[in-house]
Chain A
Amino acid sequence: MTQPTYAELARVVRDHAGRLAASLVHLVGDFSAAEDLVQEAVEAALTHWPAEGIPDRPDAWLYTVARRRGLDHLRREHRHRQKLALVPWPAEPQPDHRLRLIFTCCHPALPRAAQIALTLRVVCGLTTAQIAKAFLVPESTVGQRITRAKRKISDAAIPYRVPSPEDLGDRLAEVLAVIYLLFNEGYLSTGGDQPQSHDVADEAEFLAALLHQLMPTEPEVTGLLALIRLHRARAGARFDRGGEIVRLQHQDRSLWDRRAIADASRLIARAAAQQRPGPYQLQAAIVACHAEAIRWEDTDWTQITVLYDMLLHLAPSPVTRLHRAIALRFVAGPAAALAEVDRLAGALSHHHLFHATRAELLRDLGDTDQARAADGLALALSTNPAERSLLRRRLNWS
């Protein structure tokens, strides 16, 4: 065995911790007790594996630790005794029940922050400390969220199973929202000094891929996976060496991962063949239009505005209208786009992107003074360091 890198360690833990959690919840019949055992096994792995190397059978290693800890608790702690006493511990982990686990962690009766923390801890095997670091919150806050969520799962009898067909649509939408929020948090975090936090985006892609593997015929799951992969395929070109944002128009497209883009496009086509369009599939198709253009000039803006129209039809939102207006600039010109943007003033005047977009369109139309005023408003509303830096540069140059 060789000493593993941090990335290898994270990957192996991610591949096995959720499986173990699912199997233990099934065995022990108590979400909270099972989750404690998995967390102990993961912490033991993070202590031992960096020095001793990753074992040949990480799943069996984790399972053995969890089982031993379970039996220890049985001897020591009254509160676990009844639950664990009935467990017929087999020698091997059980089949993959992670889909149930995901639906329990993302149950709509739990608050969003708890859904995210619980999913990361239970399905991805992150420790409370790792989650706290990724979201720049105190460890005690994450710990409290998890404890409260586990108590509610137990007290309110949030079930451990895949929802019935009549509830599946809504519940799946909830899971997808959790994963996409997690991805956005990682891809463009709104706080701290690091604009990109690779870990959380990794976890989001892992979750989307896992869900796709477990539900291969749900086109929106496929759509979300494609969307995340398309964004990540272009991640290398989004920032320059100094950490400044590079606008799509000026990105070095040779840095884009063409193979990943082609793979994601095939996923979109496979999802589309099911003829059940949805917001994630459409967003992925829009991003694919950008990703497949070899040069900025090759972008199919007409197709993009059509896709935005379909998206607005399914999921009306002022932010989506704003994005459509940005595309409209290249189909109908800056004046038409500005008129459309200005119609959104009531809904989006608190949104930095609204003012940043107005600034660009005003600059295109030669109105530098108004453009500077709009950039100033955008700067005041943005909290992302890289975006703030971009706006500051624009204010200095224009």
Chain B
Amino acid sequence: MKYVLMFVDTEQFAADLAAMDESERGRAYDRVRQWFADHHDKITHHSHLLPPDTATTLRLDRVEPLVSDGPFVEGKEIISGYAEIEVADLDEALRVAKSWPACPVVEIRPIAA
């Protein structure tokens, strides 16, 4: 069973990260690297996304396609990355996600077979 873990940043998390000094931030990134290493046998691929101010949204449900600046949902919670994992079931996916050491929200979505 394949799932995508979508990592969701909050304003608070971004502020906390920005307030860290160099070595604290280094340790935070180490924890994330360690998480990827711990679960490498289950992770099929993963990516980190650039910040939402780099996003462009295209709306095709208009007479003419509409291009706009920014992410499709304007909100305080933004997807900052994802990892696709292959595990037995939702309980195992939850266990992997629970050990995620960075941003405070993770959405778990099954991939259509």
Chain A residues with a Cβ under 8 A of chain B? 107, 109, 155-159, 163-164, 166-167
Q: Is the interface of A mostly helix, strand, loop or mixed?
A: loop
B89-104 at interface with A (beta carbon < 8 Å)? 89-91, 94-95
The 24 listed contacts between A and B (C-beta, < 8 Å) are A107-B90, A109-B90, A109-B94, A155-B110, A156-B90, A156-B108, A156-B110, A157-B1, A157-B88, A157-B89, A157-B90, A157-B110, A158-B89, A158-B90, A158-B91, A159-B88, A159-B89, A159-B90, A159-B91, A163-B91, A164-B91, A166-B95, A167-B91, A167-B95
Chain B residues with a Cβ under 8 A of chain A? 1, 88-91, 94-95, 108, 110
B91: chain A residues within 8 A (beta carbon): 158-159, 163-164, 167
| Bound CA–CA A156/B2 (angstroms) | 9
A158, closest chain B residue (CB): B90
| Bound CA–CA A107/B90 (angstroms) | 10
- Taking the closest CB of chain B, its distance from the CB of A202, in whole angstroms, is 31
3 nearest interchain CB pairs?
A: A159-B89, A157-B89, A157-B1
Q: A157-B88, A159-B88, A167-B91 are in contact. List 17 more A-B contacts (CB 8 A).
A: A107-B90, A109-B90, A109-B94, A155-B110, A156-B90, A156-B108, A157-B1, A157-B90, A157-B110, A158-B89, A158-B91, A159-B89, A159-B90, A163-B91, A164-B91, A166-B95, A167-B95
A155: chain B residues within 8 A (beta carbon): 110
| Bound CA–CA A114/B49 (angstroms) | 35
A109, closest chain B residue (CB): B90
- Taking the closest CB of chain A, its distance from the CB of B82, in whole angstroms, is 17
A157: chain B residues within 8 A (beta carbon): 1, 88-90, 110
Q: Is the interface of B mostly helix, strand, loop or mixed?
A: mixed
| Bound CA–CA A107/B108 (angstroms) | 15
| Bound CA–CA A163/B91 (angstroms) | 8
| Bound CA–CA A166/B110 (angstroms) | 23
Which has the most chain A C-beta neighbours within 10 Å: B90, B95, B108? B90
A167: chain B residues within 8 A (beta carbon): 91, 95
B94: chain A residues within 8 A (beta carbon): 109
B108: chain A residues within 8 A (beta carbon): 156
| Bound CA–CA A159/B90 (angstroms) | 7
| Bound CA–CA A164/B92 (angstroms) | 10
| Bound CA–CA A313/B54 (angstroms) | 48
B89: chain A residues within 8 A (beta carbon): 157-159
A109: chain B residues within 8 A (beta carbon): 90, 94
A153, closest chain B residue (CB): B90
B92, closest chain A residue (CB): A159
A158: chain B residues within 8 A (beta carbon): 89-91
A163: chain B residues within 8 A (beta carbon): 91
